[in-house]
Structure 1
Amino acid sequence: MKLFTCASALAAALCFGSLAQAAEVDKPECIAPAQPGGGFDLTCRIAQQGLADQFDRPIQVTFMPGGIGAVAFNLFNTTRTDDPNAIVAFSSGSLLNIATGKFGQWTENDVRFVATAGADFGAVVVRADSKFETLDDVIAAVKDNAGSVVFGAGGSVGSQDWMKAALLLRSVDVDPKTMRYVAFDGGGESIAALLGGSIEVYMGDVGEMVPHLGSGDMRILAVMSDERLDGPFAEFPTAKELGYDAEWIILRGFYMGGDVPEAAYDTWVNAFEAAYQTPEFAKIQEEKGLMPLNMAGAEMDASIKERIGRMRDIAREAGLIE
């Protein structure tokens, strides 16, 4: 039998208090709100592998498809609001669905956001021989006649890809409703349309541009990150540094039910913060095609809720919601 002793009454209280907190999370689980494969599965695998040293037992990955996250969001606002063991994967698309009411009556204030898994960032991309040499050229044309510039991306009006362009236009007081936007089924189709001349500006993601950087077929005019990125993207300016308040993070992370015990929430937050300090976690992010954006706890919760509020404002201005 394993014995556990504390040297004094005070030490005992501290010891058993610590054990009680750890015991709050005794069956760690990550909910991927979709079928196996895809982004939510990837997000949970990052938690499963990246937190392997933070818990006594492996994190179980459970799939809960339905409504691109709506089923899971509703479950964790009804029957599992205080579940200490489970975190649920989300993406920027999930946040947009919350902002536009696609998850029903529940809002961002009904759950607690725990931590990020990593991120990708929006990018303004044109063909190598485009008449638009800089982002300023694109904006000048848009301000002159918004309908004269053909934007395109892998998502319909109101999607997160559309939101990237809407943010850009909104930063110069141009109504996103006046934008000429063509929707495609994914990034591959969008890039083919750009190269084929069907669209002039592709609102893509930085990560998906890695294989194309050396081809000479396309140019990145700006990256929609808060600061310049490292590595192969260091040469590309941000929209912000060019004077446009347009930032778009393709974020992946985790939330918990709104009534989860504080000790359990802190256990998950501390686990992620400890994992962020390890080279192993950074390697897992890289292998999964994400860049480091490590944030957990109250700071992260507040940041996400502010982000959803901005999305809601844009959607309302564009007439997507009332």
Structure 2
Amino acid sequence: MNCFSLNKVAFAMAVACFAAATAAVHAQTGWKPEKNVEIIVGTAAGSSPDKVARLIQKLWQDRNVLDVPTVIVNKPGGNNSIGWTYLNQHSGNGHYLMIGVVNLSLAYLTGVTRLSYRDVTPVSMLFHEYTALVVRSDAPYKSPADIIQILKKDPNAVSLGVSTAAGGSNHLAAAMALSGAGVDVKKVRTVVFNAGGSSVTALLGGHVDMIALSPSVVISHLNAGRLRAIATVAPNRLSGVYADVPTFRELGVKPYLSKYRAIIGPRDMNPEQIAYWEGRFNRLSGDSEWKKILDENGWEGQFMNSRDLEAFMDETHKEVEKALGELGMLKKQ
């Protein structure tokens, strides 16, 4: 064999080695975003899920976690169903994420949408959020026992504002707590608002007597003394400004609802995309600033990977279905 032939063989071997090395590197790194990443929020700007999305965006930007920009896209309406529909218009595309909430089950079970948690890709659990019952600072009732006593005698005596839908997470959490305490929740005057901020405005203006909403939404009003949290529907007392606020569980009312905050993606995401985002959100769960903000907002951090989140959503769906049925809010599918 002459030198020219040897050189051709050597060149071919070098090309093969380079290709193998490139493939190995690709296998190790897997998928990563190559264009703008959208984090979709199914509620209005200023809502609890919106705050979560913008916090993630800020921390990622501050720490240069991604090589591409992160964009927040609000798609409010239909108890998050508008956002879910938009998400699934990008089936299999890992550049689209959404703040996942328990309404994935609630909206389906109450007949608002045909989409359920089975129609999206579970990616990661972020934390649990619970519901607070809040009144004006000058309200005559000082404790959850006062509210219960009044509503037991006359369910119409106290009006309740909820967001963002009848049968939504705040409505169901309040109904579960009040019903567990012996109140006929079907007779409670309930007013539905399209956002937590709107219910706060109505409460401050005296248009409703009490609101059920995410604790983080009213922290500034609590600190300013304009509003007062009367109770939370949570397994234990929350942190921060809610540390001294009693839970319904302390009154012997066992049911509570986790308004979990998770990350979901469109249907048909592949394992490499899921693994990439699991890694990013696992890293976020250990971030000191993230932990500090969770504590300030009364959020209970718990990272779950895709598989564990799917199992959690399965169990939550069963519990919610049972609760809605007992309260007469379940729509047959």
TM-score, scaled relative to structure 2: 0.73
1:57 and 2:64 equivalent? no
1:172 maps to what in 2? 181
Find the residue that maps to 1:146 and give its secondary structure.
Answer: coil
1:100 maps to what in 2? 110
2:93 maps to what in 1? 83
Find the residue that maps to 2:218 and give its secondary structure.
Answer: helix
1:24 maps to what in 2? 31
Q: Is the 8 A contact 1:33 1:71 kept in 2?
A: no
Instruction: Please give the alpha-carbon distance, in whole angstroms, between the structure 2 residues aligned to 1:120 and 1:143.
Output: 27
Amino acid at match of 2:176: L
Task: Report the CA distance between 1:48 and its aligned residue.
Answer: 3.4
Amino acid at match of 2:232: V
Instruction: Please give the alpha-carbon distance, in whole angstroms, between the structure 2 residues aligned to 1:272 and 1:252.
Output: 12
Aligned residues: 308
Are the structure 2 counterparts of residues 228 and 22 from structure 1 closer, same or farther at C-alpha, using a change threshold of 3 Å?
farther
Find the residue that maps to 1:240 and give its secondary structure.
Answer: helix
Instruction: Please give the alpha-carbon distance, in whole angstroms, between the structure 2 residues aligned to 1:150 and 1:281.
Output: 36
Instruction: Please give the alpha-carbon distance, in whole angstroms, between the structure 2 residues aligned to 1:295 and 1:163.
Output: 24
Instruction: Please give the alpha-carbon distance, in whole angstroms, between the structure 2 residues aligned to 1:155 and 1:86.
Output: 23
1:321 and 2:299 equivalent? no
Find the residue that maps to 1:235 and give its secondary structure.
Answer: coil
Amino acid at match of 2:287: T
Instruction: Please give the alpha-carbon distance, in whole angstroms, between the structure 2 residues aligned to 1:199 and 1:306.
Output: 34
Task: Report the CA distance between 1:255 and its aligned residue.
Answer: 0.5
2:218 maps to what in 1? 209
1:293 and 2:301 equivalent? yes
TM-score, scaled relative to structure 1: 0.75
What are the superposed Cα offsets for residues 210-233 of structure 1, whole Å, 9 maximum, x if unpaired?
A: 223344454322122332222222
Q: Is the 8 A contact 2:294 2:301 kept in 1?
A: no
2:17 maps to what in 1? none
One of 143, 146, 159 as aligned partner of 1:150: 159
Q: Is the 8 A contact 1:54 1:271 kept in 2?
A: no
Runs of 5+ unmatched residues, structure 1:
1-11
Instruction: Please give the alpha-carbon distance, in whole angstroms, between the structure 2 residues aligned to 1:237 and 1:132.
Output: 14
Instruction: Please give the alpha-carbon distance, in whole angstroms, between the structure 1 residues aligned to 2:50 and 2:221.
Output: 26
Instruction: Please give the alpha-carbon distance, in whole angstroms, between the structure 1 residues aligned to 2:43 and 2:118.
Output: 26
Amino acid at match of 1:171: G
Task: Report the CA distance between 1:119 and its aligned residue.
Answer: 5.7
What are the superposed Cα offsets for residues 28-64 of structure 1, whole Å, 9 maximum, x if unpaired?
A: 7234256994556554433434345585513542747
Task: Report the CA distance between 1:188 and its aligned residue.
Answer: 5.2
Are the structure 2 counterparts of residues 37 and 246 from structure 1 closer, same or farther at C-alpha, using a change threshold of 3 Å?
same
1:113 and 2:115 equivalent? no
Percent identical residues: 23
What are the superposed Cα offsets for residues 179-204 of structure 1, whole Å, 9 maximum, x if unpaired?
A: 22234565555445545655433323
1:306 maps to what in 2? 315
Task: Report the CA distance between 1:158 and its aligned residue.
Answer: 2.6
Instruction: Please give the alpha-carbon distance, in whole angstroms, between the structure 1 residues aligned to 2:122 and 2:319.
Output: 17
What are the superposed Cα offsets for residues 134-169 of structure 1, whole Å, 9 maximum, x if unpaired?
A: 212322333344334332334453333322321212
Q: Is the 8 A contact 2:131 2:233 kept in 1?
A: yes
Q: Is the 8 A contact 2:131 2:215 kept in 1?
A: yes
Are the structure 2 counterparts of residues 30 and 119 from structure 1 closer, same or farther at C-alpha, using a change threshold of 3 Å?
farther
Which has more helix, going by share of residues?
A: 2
Matching of residues 167-316 of structure 1 within 5 Å: 167-172=176-181, 174-184=183-193, 186-187=195-196, 190-191=199-200, 193-194=202-203, 198-282=207-291, 291=299, 293-297=301-305, 298-316=307-325
2:141 maps to what in 1? 132
Deviates most, 269-278 or 106-115? 106-115
- Alpha-carbon RMSD across the aligned residues, in angstroms, is 3.9
